[in-house]
Amino acid sequence: MISRLKPPNVKVLSLTTVASPHRGSAFADYLMETIGSSNLTRIYAAMESFGLETEAFAQLTRNYMNNNFNPKTPDLEGVRYFSYGASLDPTFFSIFRPSHNIIKRLEGALNDGLVSVPSSKWGVYKGTLVGVSHLDLINWTNRVKWLFWSLTGKKRKFNGVAFYLDIADMLAKEGL
């Protein structure tokens, strides 16, 4: 929207991204290679029957982001860009353990189960959220885990609402 659509009467001052795959995801690469183009149509049809979007998979590959999207979507002068990454050391039962391991093997990088820290860096990098999964970032975490933690006296390590309020505070302090 900022550099390609450029809507009239809208002045964008900044963009802050959180664990966004600016350089693509090795997990998307893996899925596309594993599924193969011959099976892709059937899998997309099955996913769409459940109301799930499908176009993003191909558009999240490292090749697409680096050779198509990023060259066509340059940063706009006058806009300040900030980014955050996230890393996770998944437990044995974590839904992100397989994808985390694939990204670690293919990129050799810390990741949140879907996006590596190097891929999430854009503009001024504000830091890496440690022990946070890609779903934690949208406050959509396993409620069973939270229940177990509350029963054992452990507390949540990440509060998505507080994090995004901190981002708003940071932007206000930057005059944005």
What is the side-by-side strand order in the sheet with 124-130? Answer: 14-18, 80-87, 124-130
Pick 5 or 21 by higher pLDDT.
Answer: 21
3-state secondary structure of 21: coil
The mean per-residue pLDDT over the stretch 163-167 comes to 95
The Cα–Cα gap between 126 and 148 comes to 32
Supply the pLDDT for residue 90. 92
What residues does each domain of the chain span?
14-71+78-134
Pick 69 or 155 by higher pLDDT.
Answer: 69
**Which among 126, 30, 134 is positioned nearest to 86, based on CA atoms?**
134
**Which among 123, 126, 14 is positioned nearest to 78, based on CA atoms?**
14
**Mean pLDDT, the chain, integer:** 87
**Residue 147 pLDDT exceeds 70:** no
Q: Residues 33-80: pLDDT tens digits?
A: 887 766 766 766 766 676 666 667 778 999 999 999 999 999 999 999
Please list the residues that pair with 124 across neighbouring strands: 82
Its pTM stands at 0.84
